[in-house]
Amino acid sequence: MKLNIFNQYVDIVCDIYSISKEELFKKEKTRNISEARYLLYYLCIKRPMKLINIQEFMAKNGYVISHSPVLHGIKSIENKIRKDKDYKDTIKQIKECVTV
């Protein structure tokens, strides 16, 4: 069930950022791709999904990551939400789109 939710978030995030799944899971650190990953981490953790599950699902897609970058990404999105009401509304809409 959690993997299904993760995959739905992946699809939505890729659409929002106009990137492919392959780009999302590449070890690339361009701002756009990093921010897309950060949003994915944030959405998953707020679902709530355990950090270990996020790492496991990322690894299944070829992107091995430790706890620290995931936590950094989550904090980055939380800061963006505080500063940008439109971004907060976008996240709310994303959460409403995901089905179990």
Q: What average pLDDT does range 21-36 have in this prediction?
A: 94
| H helix count then E strand count, the chain | 6, 0
Structure confidence at residue 56 (pLDDT):
97
| In the chain, domain spans | 2-97
Range 2-97: architecture per CATH: Orthogonal Bundle (1.10)
> What DSSP character marks residue 26?
S
Are 74 and 45 in contact by the 8 Å Cβ rule? The answer is yes
pTM over 0.85: yes
The two tokens of residue 55 are 């790492």
In the predicted structure, residue 18 carries a pLDDT above the cut 90: yes
- Judge residue 96's burial from the number of C-beta atoms within 10 Å of its C-beta, 0-12 exposed, 13-18 middle, 19 or more buried: exposed
| Residue 29: pLDDT band with limits 50, 70, 90 | confident
Q: What is the CA 52 to chain-centroid distance, rounded?
A: 14
